[in-house]
Amino acid sequence: MSHATRPAAPSGLIPSLVGIRGVLSLIVVGVHLAPFAIAMVPATRGFFEPLWHHGYVVLDLFFVLSGFVISSGYARTFARWSGWGTFGRFLWARLSRFYPVHLAILVAMVAAVLASRAIGREIPHGGDLTWDLLRQVTLTSGWGGADALTWNGPVWSLSAEWACYLVLPLLLPLVQRLRTPAACVVGYLVACAVPLVAYGFLGFDDGTITYGMPLPRAFGGFLAGCALYQLASVGSRIPAWLGRVTGPLVALAFLTIVGVASVGLPSMLALPVVGLVVPALAQRRGAVDRLLSTRAALVGGEYSVALFLVHVPWILAGSLLINPRTFPGAWGIVGTLLLVLGAVVLAWAAFVVVERPAQRWMRRVVRRAPQAPARPVEERVEAAVEKTP
């Protein structure tokens, strides 16, 4: 195949890869809401229990998505070492996406825990004010060795992803050594195998894959996303083929999760199939892409970080007042809806009051890294939301 006819790697803002973040965040909310919803409305067990035990695979898709998107923006920047200044600006840009709202929510949690203890109550998973809190502040709670998820539990995944960012200048040149489609496919499968083999020995229990030893999960998924982007970069037609069957591929990914779960196997085993949804969406074709590119989906994607960070603290605190005792019987439906509504409202408030202003301020502090996208991804998302009818 001549160079002129080789498919190009996806570039620029891919709206559906923004929109899918909102969908995945809602699924994560459903996973953590499940035990509370089941307690208040037992009739919902048939829906929430499978989601509770098997929906965690969406976090693995988050890692794949992150590796793919970061590669699309910084593959050239970190093809070779670009200096500490460039690397520092990259890390600052990543921190601007989530750290201000994370810190604000953590401060609110500490205040809420101290206030609740003052009146003789306890917000679950408060954690201690020393080591547990320090790990949250320094984004090391997802690096393994913890005894439990404390304070804002979901932060473990952002912490593990932060570990990937810290070694990105080593990871991207390694992935870019995959210079043929076959090598990229093998690289993708090997990356997917990293968590599957590791947890085959360590165990797929919730503790191991979240706070005990989550880094194989994060690095495996992230590298898988990098390999998928490299697959497009070397001119493979596989991503274009996947783009033609995005809808069936999404259905296949869901059925694969259901299939492995139905025979008692860990849902994470579906990762090699689930991860293919990312390069398929990057082709910007089909009904699924259009659905995830709508204004509503883009807004959901823009609010996804705030929703991801705020929902567990809210559910834990809200459950002190919204529970089967205060919302008995059929009122449990109202209680469940209030927990969902509260998470959405607080996510909106966190985004408007903290995330967006802090992000804009942090962008102005340092200049953009050379060869990085012309505008930060977050800024391009805002522009896309404003333009989408």
Say what the pLDDT of residue 374 is: 44
* Count of the separate structural domains present in the chain: 1
Say what the pLDDT of residue 12 is: 65
Say what the pLDDT of residue 235 is: 86
Cβ atoms within 10 A of the Cβ of 124, count? Answer: 12
Say what the pLDDT of residue 163 is: 97
* DSSP-derived secondary structure letter, 362: H
Say what the pLDDT of residue 13 is: 79
Q: How far is CA 93 from CA 195, 358, 359, in A?
A: 28, 11, 8
Give the domain extent around 158. 3-387
Stretches in the chain below the pLDDT threshold 50 = 1-5, 369-375, 383-386, 388-389
CA dist., res. 35 & res. 19, Å (int): 27
- Per DSSP, the three-state class of 15 is helix
Say what the pLDDT of residue 260 is: 94
Say what the pLDDT of residue 79 is: 87
Say what the pLDDT of residue 304 is: 96
142: which residues sit within 8 A by CB, 6+ positions away? Answer: 155, 156, 157, 158, 159, 160, 161, 162, 163, 210, 211, 214, 215, 218
Say what the pLDDT of residue 371 is: 47
Say what the pLDDT of residue 369 is: 44
For residue 155, give the nearest of 135, 175, 129, 172 by alpha carbon.
Answer: 135
Say what the pLDDT of residue 58 is: 94
Say what the pLDDT of residue 226 is: 97
Both tokens of residue 144? 């393994």
Q: What is the pTM of this model?
A: 0.91
| Residues 332 and 324: beta-carbon distance below 8 Å | yes
Terminus-to-terminus CA distance in the chain, angstroms? 40
Q: How far is CA 62 from CA 56, 158, 215, 276, 277, in A?
A: 10, 10, 14, 12, 11
Q: What is the dihedral of CA 9, 374, 365, 104, to 10 degrees?
A: -50
Q: What is the pLDDT of residues 312-359, one digit of tens each?
A: 999 988 998 999 999 999 999 999 999 999 999 999 999 999 999 999
Say what the pLDDT of residue 4 is: 44
106: which residues sit within 8 A by CB, 6+ positions away? Answer: 133, 136, 137, 151, 152
